[in-house]
Amino acid sequence: MWQGKWRDNVWSQLDQPWDIIVIGGGITGAGILRQATHLHLRTLLIEKNDFAWGTSSRSTKLVHGGLRYLAQGQYSVTRESVREREWLMKQAPGLINALGFLFGIYQGESPNRRAAAIGLAVYDLFGHKWAHRYYKGDDFLMLAPHINQERLKGGYRYFDAVTDDARMVLRIIREAVDAGGTALNYVAAEKLLLDREGKVKGVVVRDRTTGRTLELKARVVISATGAWADQLRSQVGGSPRIRPSRGSHLVFPAWRLPVAQAITLVHPRDKRPVFVLPWEGATLAGTTDLDHKQPLDEEPHVEPEEIEYIMEALDAKFPSLRLQAKDIMATFSGVRPIVASGKGVDPHKESRAHIVLEESGLVTITGGKLTTFRPMALDALRTARRIWPAMASPDGNAPMFEPLPADLAGLTRLDSYARLRLLGRYGTHAPALVAAAAHEELDVIPETDTLWAELRWAARNEGVVHLDDLLLRRVRIGLLLSQGAMPIMETIRAIVQPELGWDDARWEAEVAAYTNIWSQAYSPLV
């Protein structure tokens, strides 16, 4: 799968009747494809860019209930999210892992200790476990030694979970394809096909790498395009429902912003939470929540006022570190598919609940959050049954991830952390990844948790079409290393160019394109 001439091979098999066509290769589309394979449905997923290109590779990397949603009264969203967090951690260890969060209590600031205790108690009860604890001042400083000590009374430690969002999408799609599904990136849904009664019966698709097109028929077409949902809905008369909201993040070297676990900050300006968390050998800080006015089909990018906003929070809560904008190693921005309430509230006050729409035979699933992708996928398939009643009902207990392999013989060359990390990200394919590694490729790329072998595996086996697919989504070193990993590009080239089959001209063109993408959308120098 996803090797050699895989695109031509898949394209040659597309012109057939499908049970379901899923448009959108983010986490929700991936979840729908995986659940559909459990029902043995002929299911095709298409994505106009790369898998996880949009919001699903640009999140805060958290699988969480969202304490702030609880504070806003979004109890059902929080309850569902916490329960999904617990389910996902059990399903995919090494990919979705528990992470401690610290929250300081300051004299004269909200929330006070009592309010925080009540919120955290409800949060834990939703997850059916008691996992938070209060620490007095000096004890709390042992956990967060760089935190602002002025008026600090103590703080709480609670738990959520962290993931690699793009790898989660890729593992689910990979396992869905292994189970009989079909997935193709860089294929756009150009136009919905309607029958004589005006009902959706298929879609015109275009391969963006070659320009070739096909008309494909399906019993049900499901749009899982997130913030882009209104674009397809407009073809069947749907009125706009989505309020795109941008969340931007800053990436720092771990030594410059050292945190052993996540820290939840309250922004001094608007009291919104800002997270600081260790991730893949670096430290992330974010996020913002602004109406996204940039063109949706372009790479979203951080704007100067967002950098200023996040740096203001960091300066207030970590004054001893004296962080400056020049310390930022990279940035990234994602666009949330917020369902507009029409109440004129700030974006961060809008509900994170998802909606499912059926309009002239087009099923649209949008809204929601990374953590709740599984119930979103199930809801989309349940709605599809209204259009195609003969379809089997989706099983809410069906696994989203394949069990990890019992034979770990090839992985014994790795330490326990690297072994679990690879198993989480690559599932049953982890032993083959290790077996394919050349000499010294099981070493870690400096300043990251990534193995050199992951570059070779991705280039050989994971449907890489462009260099940014490899460096920003298959592995994440474009975010984790200075200048988007450009200083080590020749080392990367020696590993991946032969696997990709690119000649020197193609390689140079891809490097130029990647450099432009990184400088426009990921560089701190905007």
Residue 1 pLDDT: 63
CA dist 356 and 112 (Å) reads: 38
CA dist 104 and 113 (Å) reads: 9
Domain topology for 6-55+166-241+350-387: FAD/NAD(P)-binding domain (3.50.50)
Residue 526 pLDDT: 54
Asked if the model's pLDDT at residue 77 lies above 90, the reply is: no
> How many other CB atoms sit within 10 Å of the CB of residue 92?
26
Please say whether the beta carbons of 225 and 52 come within 8 A.
Answer: no
Provide the percentage of residues in the chain whose pLDDT is more than 70: 99
CATH of the structural domain 101-161+244-335, one choice from 3.30.1330.40, 3.90.1150.10, 3.40.50.720, 3.30.9.10: 3.30.9.10
Closest to 489 in 3D by CA, of 518, 526, 520, 523:
518
Quickly state the pLDDT bin for 340 (edges 50, 70, 90): very high
If you average pLDDT over residues 411-428, what whole number do you get?
Answer: 93
Name the residue with higher pLDDT: 373 or 411: 373
Domain with CATH 3.50.50.60 in the chain: 6-55+166-241+350-387
Is the whole-model pTM more than 0.85?
yes
- Cα end-to-end span (Å), the chain: 38
Residue 347 pLDDT: 84
Domain with CATH 3.30.9.10 in the chain: 101-161+244-335
Quickly state the pLDDT bin for 345 (edges 50, 70, 90): confident
Asked if the model's pLDDT at residue 11 lies above 80, the reply is: yes
Locate 262 and state its tokens: 């996540």
Helix axes 75-91, 373-387, angle to 10 degrees: 100
Cα separation values, 421 from 73, 225, 256, 450, 464, Å = 36, 29, 24, 9, 21
Half-sphere exposure of 456 (CA within 13 A, CB side): 20
Provide the percentage of residues in the chain whose pLDDT is more than 90: 90
Closest to 161 in 3D by CA, of 108, 270, 249, 83:
83
Mean pLDDT check: name the lowest of 16-30, 43-57, 121-135, 249-263: 121-135
**320-332, pLDDT tens digit by residue?**
999 999 999 999 9
If you average pLDDT over residues 79-89, what whole number do you get?
Answer: 95
CA dist 419 and 412 (Å) reads: 8
If you average pLDDT over residues 208-227, what whole number do you get?
Answer: 98
Residue 70 pLDDT: 80
Average pLDDT taken over every residue of the chain: 95
**428-471, pLDDT tens digit by residue?**
999 999 999 998 999 999 999 999 999 999 999 999 999 999 99
If you average pLDDT over residues 226-242, what whole number do you get?
Answer: 97
